[in-house]
Amino acid sequence: MAAWLTGHASSSIGALGRIARHPLSSFMIILVIAVTLALPAAINLVVKNARTLSAGWDNALDFAVFLKLTVAEDEAAALGRLLEQRADIDAVQFVSSTQALIDFREQSGFGAALDQLPDNPLPHTLVVRPGPGNTSASLVLLQEELANLPEAEYVQVDTEWVQRFHAILDIVRQAIAIGAALLGIAIVVIIGNTIRLDIENRREEIEVTKLIGASNAFVRRPFLWSGFWYGLLGGLLALGLVWYGLYLLGGPVARLAGLYQGNVSITSMSLVEAAAVVAIGVVLGLAGSWLTTARHMRRIEPR
């Protein structure tokens, strides 16, 4: 066991030394691997932040029940309290026509024009939030029941755009998985081609090693370590590229949060996700080197 560990340590250090002896070409290979790994990781991070942002859009699932103009304010408030007692409704917010006009004047910027109106054209409104246990079918039924109320003039619900948004995110996630698989194949090909060139450059050394009795596993060992180092360094550089991109986005996101007076922040990769990126790089590096050495070692035999 000690000899086996010593052999692997020697091969590991030797492979890292060969990479260091050709810094420019090695860096270009590592950079290509890093960019290939960083692309799906960055897109997945965008989807993750989009889902985090959309999680705060709970009010998009509310029903706005606009009451008839003939409904008095106390009747509207009583109807809201009655609806709030239903098991499929979580909360009901009553917005009087006076409050609605005040809010509209503040947010629309048409204060002077609204002052010219002889009467308040806005109705009393009930903002109904469905309970968390509702299904899609029960929400449709609840909308119909609210629309059939004698006091209701119109029921507005705007959930379709949220559903479309999440459907788009699901499509993007599927596209990321397909793209990541294709990029993984590209990494295997890149590392395999690099290892193939290394094997050809050391062909005479391999023949002499086999001539004195070395097995294919022994000869294959340093090339596997080369693939390991390429994958590891490429994965670490990919993390650096993603984190640097997040650093560059920090300023614009802070300015955006200031404009909207909200708490908008970017969610970074977790330790598990970061470790997964590095692990994928190592696995692809080992796979590329293993496939290449398994194919070419059989062709190199001492004459």
What's the structural domain count of the chain? 2
d(CA 63, CA 136): 14
Per-residue confidence (pLDDT) for residue 12, from 0 to 100? 82
Q: 184 and 272, same structural domain? A: yes
Q: Which of 98-102, 104-108, 113-117 has the lowest mean pLDDT?
A: 113-117
| Strand ranges across the sheet with 89-95 | 89-95, 125-130, 63-67, 152-157
Which amino acid is located at 30 in the chain? I
Q: Which of 102-111, 171-180, 231-240 has the lowest mean pLDDT?
A: 102-111
Q: Is 63 domain-assigned?
A: no
Sign of the four-CA dihedral 7, 10, 11, 12: positive
Per-residue confidence (pLDDT) for residue 210, from 0 to 100? 72
Stated pTM of the model? 0.63
Q: 189 and 225, same structural domain? A: yes
Q: 101 and 16, same structural domain? A: no
Q: pLDDT for 227-272, tens place per residue?
A: 899 999 999 999 999 988 888 877 776 666 565 545 556 777 888 9
Q: Is 269 domain-assigned?
A: yes
Q: Is 62 domain-assigned?
A: no
Q: 224 and 140, same structural domain? A: no
Output the domain CATH number for residue 112: 3.30.70.3040
Q: Is 254 domain-assigned?
A: yes
Q: 255 and 206, same structural domain? A: yes
Q: Is 137 domain-assigned?
A: yes
Q: Looking at 150, 173, 205, which one is the last position of a domain?
A: 150
Q: 45 and 73, same structural domain? A: no
d(CA 222, CA 19): 12
Q: Looking at 117, 150, 183, which one is the last position of a domain?
A: 150
Q: 208 and 279, same structural domain? A: yes
DSSP per-residue codes, 115-154:
TT-SS--PPPEEEEEE-TT--HHHHHHHHHHHHTSTTEEE
Residue 131 gets which letter from DSSP?
A: -
CA neighbor of 278 nearest in space, from 236, 225, 221, 249: 236
Per-residue confidence (pLDDT) for residue 7, from 0 to 100? 66
Those residues whose C-beta lies under 8 Å from the C-beta of residue 30, and which sit 6 or more positions away, are 230, 233, 234, 237
Q: 113 and 25, same structural domain? A: no
Cα atoms in the Cβ-side hemisphere of radius 13 Å centred on 231: 30
Q: 51 and 80, same structural domain? A: no
Domain containing 137 equals 69-150
Q: 170 and 273, same structural domain? A: yes
Strand partners, 128: 63, 92
Mean pLDDT over 182-205 rounds to 85
d(CA 126, CA 77): 8
Q: 170 and 50, same structural domain? A: yes
Q: 130 and 170, same structural domain? A: no
Report the percentage of the chain scoring pLDDT > 90.
12
Q: Looking at 150, 185, 212, which one is the last position of a domain?
A: 150
CA neighbor of 223 nearest in space, from 285, 299, 302: 285
